[in-house]
Amino acid sequence: MENIFRIIVCIKQVPGTTEIKINPQTNTLVREGIETVINPFDTYAIEEGVRVKERIQQSGEAAEVTAITMGPPQSESILREAIALGADKAILLSDRAFAGADTWATALTLKKAVKKIEGWRLIILGKQTLDGDTGQVGPELAHMLNIPFIGYASSIEEISFQKITVKRLAEDRYETFEVRLPAAVSVGKDINIPRVPSLRGKLKAKNETIPVWRAVDVELDEKDAGLPGSYTQVIKIFTPKHTYEVKMIEGGPDEQADELFKKLKQLSIV
């Protein structure tokens, strides 16, 4: 197993937001049937990991993808999904002590885990999660590992054992960077179109044993994990008060266009 190019893909299980609705009467969440899914951007991260693996393998070298997640025991299911989609191995970081982690504590826990994995050259993350929605874990993790981080990658132009060239979307432009490996990148939706799980992958996913690493296994002190290890703390969660009241602009297209024009004028847009 020497000189293997290992790609680590960080994924997170999130509540599928499609089902999240607010009950207008009570202003609380209607949470019936919330299913949990792989964070949408992380599906692109998995696919890109598998593609990098294939590219390295095509050049005659060995490569493997390891998917990791930190989360409650039930997060195991997304790791199996990752295997079905082409990941070779998976590790579940799960411990009561990890609960309540902010991005800092999450990044630290992931860092400790990455340090235990041999031969990693590249870490791929989603550009942000649905629930956390910060995009901070990637840059924080990269800093903790002292490796460069390139966010919002829209294509991996070149990859070898030594370096990677990444095109990424900045505010109003694309930038292409070259950095030495190991490095971390985060990906958006434009980087690839994820494949569907293969039959072989599904089979492997069913039979694979997924190791569970606890705080002690990654040598993380409990005071540095979860909420105690976090710098930030959520003190309140509430639903915004939307008072949507739609005003319909009626009539034929002429009247509608006219009325809308007047509205835009009132709004000082025209």
Partner 1 sequence: MEIKVDEKTCTGCSLCKNVCMYDAIEITGKLARINDNCIFCGACIDACKFKSIEITGIPEQDFDFSGYEGVMVFIEQHQGSVAEVSYELLSEGRKLADTLGTKLYGILPGYDLKERIADIFCYGIDRLYIAENEIFKNNIDDIYSKILVQAINRYRPDIFLGGATSFGRTLLPKVAAIIKTGLTADCTELSIDPDKKILLQTRPTFGGNILATIITRNARPQMATVRPHVMAKAAINQPDNNRTDNYLKYAGKIEFLKFDPLNFKTKYKLLSQEKESGQSINLTDYDVIVSGGRGIGGPDNFALIKELADVLGGVVGASRAAVDSNWISYPHQVGQTGKTVNPKVYIACGISGAIQHLAGMQTSDIVIAINKDPYAPIFKIANYGLVGDLFEIIPRLIKKIKSGKSSI
Ligand X SMILES: Nc1ncnc2c1ncn2[C@@H]1O[C@H](COP(=O)(O)O)[C@@H](O)[C@H]1O
Residue nearer to ligand X on the CB measure, 10 or 218: 10
Please work out the total of residues on this chain that contact ligand X, with binding judged by CB under 6 A.
25
DSSP 123-149: EEEES--SSS----HHHHHHHHTT--E
Q: Is 125 in the site for ligand X (CB under 6 A)?
A: yes
Stretch that binds partner 1, among 76-84, 176-184, 195-203, 208-216 (CB under 8 A): 176-184
From 7, 8, 11, 38, residue interacting with ligand X (rule: CB under 6 A):
11
To ligand X, the closest distance from the beta carbon of 258 in angstroms equals 45
Binder of ligand X out of 49, 126, 148, 229 (CB under 6 A): 126
Using CB under 6 A, which of 36, 134, 154, 165 touches ligand X?
134
33 touches partner 1 by CB under 8 A: no
Nearest to 66 by CA among 106, 6, 115: 6
Among 162, 172, 196, 207, binds partner 1 (CB under 8 A): 172
For residue 211, the tally of other CB atoms under 10 A from its CB is: 11
Token pair of 216 as six digits: 């002690």
Q: Which residue has the tokens 């992380």?
A: 42
- Residues with Cβ within 8 Å of 265's Cβ and at least 6 positions away in sequence, in order, are none
Q: DSSP string covering 176-207, please?
A: EEEEESSEEEEE-GGG--PPPPPHHHHHHHHH
Q: Does residue 106 interact with ligand X by CB under 6 A?
A: yes
Is residue 133 within the footprint of ligand X (CB under 6 A)? yes
According to the binding rule CB under 8 A, does residue 212 interact with partner 1? no
Applying CB under 6 A, does 192 fall inside the site for ligand X? Answer: no
Please tell me whether residue 12 binds ligand X under the rule CB under 6 A. Answer: yes
Site pattern 43..72 for partner 1 (x: CB under 8 A): -----------------------------x
Q: Which of 15, 72, 100, 132 binds ligand X (CB under 6 A)?
A: 132
- The b-or-e profile of 231-261 (16+ CB within 10 A means b, else e) is eeeeeeeeeeeeeeeeeeeeeeeeeeeeeee
Which residues, 6 or more positions from 112, have their beta carbon under 8 angstroms from its beta carbon?
A: 218, 219, 220
Stretch of 121-129, 161-169, 221-229, 230-238 lying at the interface with ligand X (CB under 6 A)? 121-129
Give burial (CB, 10 Å; 0-12/13-18/19+) of 109: buried
Least Å distance, CB 159 to ligand X, is 19
SS3 of 152, please? strand
Residue closer to ligand X (CB basis): 114 or 205: 114
Check: CB of residue 264 under 8 Å from CB of residue 270.
yes
Q: How far is the CB of 70 from ligand X (least distance, A)?
A: 4
**Opening angle at CA 195, ends 15 and 41, nearest 5:** 35
- Residue numbers of the site for ligand X (CB under 6 A)? 10-12, 39, 41-42, 45, 68-71, 103, 106, 110, 125-126, 128-129, 132-138
